[in-house]
């Protein structure tokens, strides 16, 4: 069975980034991928005191609007939080088969040998693979180089790979998810 994945950009996520992620996850999971822009996130999902999106509420809204067939990945130009966390890079629900990735903190540029845009795409790939891992039933991994390692800061994201360790890859494959060997540490 071929995985069906719909990627939706909100708040004018860069089309080049959408295209890159579509190709990237399509190759990783041998998935049939469609992507589109959906316009702005409704203001009702903004916590005005924090100037952040309420990630859990937004996740359920995305499911109600676009869920039900395959996996939905929403890329949101902005910042989000969930529960007692000050921020989240993303959030996912294996039950709803929906993942969100927030881009604003991924754009924080730290002196690097790569350009800010290259660094952003690399971080975006990592967070997308991480959240999709949750959609497919994976928890956090203790291997700091595995994409499923919990990122408490952007430094954790920068350290880890966009690949799954052999243990996480094995779990994915045993649950029926096709994963290209290029995406395994």
Q: How would you classify residue 78: left for phi > 0, otherwise alpha for psi between -120 and 50, otherwise beta? A: left
Task: Say what the alpha-carbon torsion angle 104, 143, 58, 8 is, to the nearest 10 degrees.
Answer: 70
pLDDT for position 1: 61
Edge-to-edge strands, sheet with 46-47: 46-47, 52-54, 80-81
Rounded to whole angstroms, the Cα distance separating 88 from 100 reads 10
Q: Is 117 one of the catalytic residues?
A: no
Question: Any idea where the domains of the chain sit in the sequence?
Answer: 4-103+112-183
4-103+112-183: CATH topology is Collagenase (Catalytic Domain) (3.40.390)
**Model confidence at 149: pLDDT above 70:** yes
- State the Cα torsion 116-91-145-112 to the nearest 10°: 10
Check 23, 117, 131, 182 and give the catalytic one. 131
Average pLDDT, stretch 16-26? 95
Mean pLDDT of the chain: 95
User: What is the reported pLDDT for 154?
Assistant: 94
DSSP string over the chain: ---EEEEEEESS--HHHHHHHHHHHHHHHT-EEEEEE--PPPGGGEETTTTEEEHHHHHHHHHHHH-SSSEEEEEESS-EE-TT-S-BSEEEETTTTEEEEE-GGGG---S-SS-HHHHHHHHHHHHHHHHHHHHTT----S-TTSTTS--SSHHHHHHS-SSB-HHHHHHHHHTT----GGGB-
Q: In this predicted model, what pLDDT tens digit does every residue of 93-146 receive, in sequence order?
A: 999 999 999 999 999 877 677 788 899 999 999 999 999 999 999 999 999 999
| 46-47 and 52-54 beta bridge pairing | antiparallel
What is the per-residue pLDDT across 54-79, written as a single tens digit (0 to 9) for each? 999 999 999 999 988 899 999 999 99
Contact 132, 25 (CB under 8 A): yes
* pLDDT at residue 68 in the model: 83
């Amino acid at each position: 069975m071929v995985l069906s994945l719909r990627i939706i950009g909100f708040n004018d996520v860069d089309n080049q980034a959408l295209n890159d992620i579509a190709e990237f996850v399509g190759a990783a999971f041998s998935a049939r991928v469609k992507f589109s822009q959906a316009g702005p996130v409704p203001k009702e999902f903004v916590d005005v005191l924090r100037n952040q999106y309420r990630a859990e509420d937004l996740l359920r809204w995305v499911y109600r609007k676009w869920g039900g067939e395959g996996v939905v990945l929403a890329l949101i130009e902005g910042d989000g939080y969930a529960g007692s966390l000050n921020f989240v890079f993303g959030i996912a629900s294996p039950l709803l088969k929906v993942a969100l990735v927030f881009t604003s903190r991924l754009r924080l540029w730290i002196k690097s040998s790569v350009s800010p845009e290259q660094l952003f795409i690399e971080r975006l790939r990592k967070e997308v693979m991480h959240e999709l891992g949750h959609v497919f039933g994976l928890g956090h991994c203790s291997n700091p180089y595995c994409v499923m390692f919990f990122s408490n800061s952007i430094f954790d994201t920068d350290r880890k790979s966009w690949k799954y360790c052999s243990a996480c890859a094995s779990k994915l494959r045993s649950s029926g998810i096709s994963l290209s060997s290029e995406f395994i540490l």
